[in-house]
Amino acid sequence: MLPRVDLPEVLLEVFSWTGADQTFTSVTGGEARLRDLPVTIAALLVAHGCNVGYTPVISGIDALKYGRLSHVDQTYLRLTTYRAANATLIATQAAIPLASAWGGGLVASVDGMRFVVPVPSVYARPNPKYFGRRGGATWLNMINDQAAGLGGKVVAGTPRDSLYVLDVLYDRDGGKRPDMIVTDTASYSDIVFGLLTLAGFTYAPQLADLPDRKMWRIDRSADYGAFQDAARGRVDLVRIERNWEDILRIIGSIHTGAVRAYDVIRMLSRDGRPTPLGDAIAHYGRIAKTLHILRLADEPTYRRKIKVQANLQEGRHALARKIFHGKAGQLYQRYQDGMEDQIGALGLVLNALVLFNTRYMDAAVRQLRADGFDVRDEDVARLSPFVRHHINMLGRYSFQLPDLTGGLRPLRDPDATDEG
């Protein structure tokens, strides 16, 4: 039932709903607003977000000539304006009833997506498993349970995601502060468990080989019944108490932005071994880790919530790979800010597509119910905003926005024969 549309038209329509294009301001601060600026911005988002460059979007109209594209790219598009535009899309997504049916915005996941960087760059690192003989970078990005991308960070190579999870959480573009954080096993460590728990988050990493996971006890002499053998580790409360004031200073410094969590985590580990302070935080984290393992074993709804959020993240990455087709997903940027700008465009295009789909799917659900169809809430909760077959992303780029009477295009009749 979703209307068929070209990608630039999606961006222009989303701009018309949200005013997100107004957040792209001149770096000089004094330049008059250019005519048809939203068209130029949409073209540049396609050029960078789809990794196709200027050539496919250039045409004879003033807003799409090379000189105009280059000027707007250098003057209006930068990380701060991408983030401001993204905050607008996140807020609009949260206000749609269908998005509220998916979640309350308080569950989020953080995961990495890998990109080859074929040009020489100090911001790329080698990893034969992901990049072959070339270097590469990782886009560590966060998405909430309403399918909105809350922000991300580009890091060199393929470091352990756990080093950066807290930085991504504290540097989001918009949306509610999530309560529960889902990651994969690569983002897990006992120190991160401790830091996230102390910072007020429920940390819920997916753990491989759960039956073999070690759990921890505080009282070595206590009888834990069926868990007597599993709870073979011991949490040292004295070690935590001895370092408690320093632990609180670290959490306060991260929370206020005085230090990066990445730098703190590296400081807490030397040559792969935790410092005394890092070991105390790890012991605190093992309390939360043990409770997490017990919840995984005992609460089906808890496991389901983690799995649903992880699947949502994978769905977003699958859509990102379709958008960012280019040459095998390669970033052609030599500098960190260039990579962040290009990934910023990809993240914004992703959120625009998700918002477009969510709003039209919400309209379709309301129409079906108005027509007397039995649309169950449990089925609505399983709808995916990452559908893409109705959107043309390659080969033809139309920048014609129709007159949207009532704010939306007419829904497509699913029984009608497709044209062309």
The DSSP result for 163-203, as a single string, is GTHHHHHHT-SSSPPPSEEEE-GGG--HHHHHHHHHTT-EE
The pLDDT score that the predictor gives to residue 152 is 92
181-204 average pLDDT score: 89
Q: How far apart are CA 82 and CA 90, in angstroms?
A: 12
What is the identity of the amino acid at 266?
R
Length of the chain: 420
Give the pLDDT confidence score for residue 174 in this predicted structure.
96
Which tens digit of pLDDT belongs to each residue from 261-309? 989 988 998 877 899 999 999 999 999 999 999 999 899 999 999 999 9
Tell me if 145 sits within 8 A of 106, measured CB to CB.
yes
Q: Specify whether the CB–CB gap between 240 and 278 falls below 8 A.
A: no
pLDDT at residue 420, as a whole number: 44
Identify the residue with better confidence: 28 or 104. Answer: 104
Q: Find how far residue 54's CA is from the centre of its chain.
A: 26
Residue 274: beta bridge partners? 269
pLDDT value at residue 175? 95
Q: What percent of the chain has pLDDT over 90?
A: 61
Average pLDDT across the chain, whole number: 89
Residue 182 phi/psi, 5-degree rounding, is: -105, 135
Short-list 108, 204, 102, CA closest to 149: 108
Share of the chain above pLDDT 70, in %: 94
- Of 158, 147, 121, nearest in space to 352 by CA: 147
Dihedral Cα 278, 282, 284, 290, nearest 10 deg: 180
Tell me, what DSSP letter sits at residue 334?
Answer: S
For residue 125 the two structure tokens come to 């690192």
Domain-wise residue ranges, the chain: 5-82+335-407, 104-318
Take residue 357 and report the two structure tokens written for it: 């789909």
Query: Which of 100, 84, 106, 41 lies closest to 359 in space, CA to CA?
Result: 100
Output the pLDDT for position 219: 87
Provide φ and ψ at 298, rounded to 5°.
-110, -20
Degrees to nearest 5, angle at CA 232 with 231 and 235: 85
Is 0.85 surpassed by the pTM of this model? yes
**Of 146-160, 163-177, 190-204, 361-375, which range is least confident?**
146-160
* Helix, strand, coil % over all residues of the chain, rounded to 5: 50, 10, 35
More confident residue, 172 or 401: 172
